[in-house]
C-alpha cells in the first residue's frame, strides 16, 4: 500500500508522484510534496572561481572570454552580470547577458562582484 496523501481538492485516493509534485488524476490538481509535510531537499550550494558562495540575485563578473555556442558573439572578460539565478546541472548559473540575451554560465568562469 502506498503512503501517498489524498487529493486536498477532491479527496481522491488515486494520487501519484511526478518529480517533486503530487498529481490527482481525477481532478488534475497538482501540489508540491513540500506542502504535504515532507522535509525540504538540501539547498543548492554553488561557488565561484574564488570559492565564494553564490546566491540568487547576486552580481558576478566574467573572468574569461567565453564564446557563445552557435554564434560569433563573445562574452568578454570583466562583463558584470546582474541578478543571477542558480540552477542544477553543468551550467549552474541562469542569467541575462546585456547585448546577448538569456544564457547559462558555469560558475567556474565567474567571480562574485
Give pLDDT, residue 42: 56
Give pLDDT, residue 81: 96
Per-residue pLDDT tens over the stretch 5-59: 888 889 888 898 888 888 999 998 888 876 545 444 557 899 999 999 999 999 9
pLDDT at 4 over 90: no
Going by C-alpha positions, the residue among 30, 5, 3, 35 that lies closest to residue 18 is 30
d(CA 84, CA 62) in angstroms, rounded, equals 12
d(CA 100, CA 10) in angstroms, rounded, equals 47
Question: Which band of pLDDT confidence, cut at 50, 70 and 90, is reported for residue 2?
Answer: low
Per-residue pLDDT tens over the stretch 52-111: 999 999 999 999 999 999 999 999 999 999 999 999 989 999 999 998 999 999 999 999
Amino acid at each position: 500500500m502506498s503512503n501517498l496523501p489524498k487529493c486536498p481538492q477532491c479527496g481522491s485516493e488515486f494520487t501519484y508522484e511526478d518529480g517533486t509534485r503530487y498529481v490527482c488524476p481525477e481532478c488534475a490538481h497538482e501540489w508540491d510534496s513540500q506542502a504535504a509535510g515532507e522535509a525540504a531537499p538540501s539547498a543548492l550550494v554553488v561557488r565561484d572561481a574564488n570559492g565564494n558562495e553564490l546566491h540568487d540575485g547576486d552580481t558576478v563578473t566574467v573572468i574569461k572570454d567565453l564564446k557563445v555556442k552557435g554564434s560569433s558573439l563573445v562574452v568578454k572578460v570583466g562583463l558584470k552580470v546582474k541578478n543571477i539565478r542558480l540552477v542544477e546541472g553543468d551550467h549552474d548559473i541562469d542569467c541575462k547577458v546585456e547585448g546577448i540575451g538569456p544564457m547559462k554560465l558555469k560558475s567556474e568562469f565567474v567571480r562574485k562582484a
